Amino acid sequence: MTITINHFLVVSFLLFSIGLLGVLVRRNFLTVLMSVELMLNAVNLNLIAFSRRLSDLTGQVFSVFVITIAAGEAAIGLALTISLFRQRRTLNVEDASSMQG
């Protein structure tokens, strides 16, 4: 089985789409955060594949930065989750609608 860059692009796109669908359709705030992590992971997959394809280490360095951003995003998101739960006793994103016009 010969794998080219196109296979990686398709897998990465599918992973990203699954994450996007999760962000848009899930009601639980924690699952929405997990879907964001899935999307970041799909981007990393692309970066590593192109790093290999172009024989350039910059992609690997960049994906380390993406992992750093993901860690910070998870920390802030989970702090927001705890804050939301303390205020509303729920994790449903549809209940956090007090700023709705």
Partner 1 sequence: MTAAQAVPGALLTGAAGWMFVVFAVLALGMAVAVVVARNPIHSALFLLSSFLLVACIFILQQAEFVGAVQILVYAGGIMVLFLFVIMLVHQRGVQERLTFQHQWDVALLFLLVFLLPFLYVLWTERFPELPQNLDAFRMVKGKIAGNTEAVAWVLYRDYLLPFEVASVFLLVAMVGAVVLGKRSAEKVD
Residue numbers 67-96 binding partner 1 by CB under 8 A? 67-76, 78-83, 85-86, 91-94
Shortest Å distance, C-beta 98 to partner 1: 16
Residues between 6 and 65 with contacts to partner 1, criterion CB under 8 A: 6-11, 13-22, 24-28, 30-31, 33-35, 37-38, 41, 44-45, 48-49, 51-58, 60-61, 63-65
Give me the residue label for tokens 């995003």: 73
Sign of the torsion formed by the C-alpha atoms of 48, 54, 55 and 56: negative
| Residue 18, CA distances (Å) to 11, 47, 57 in order | 11, 18, 28
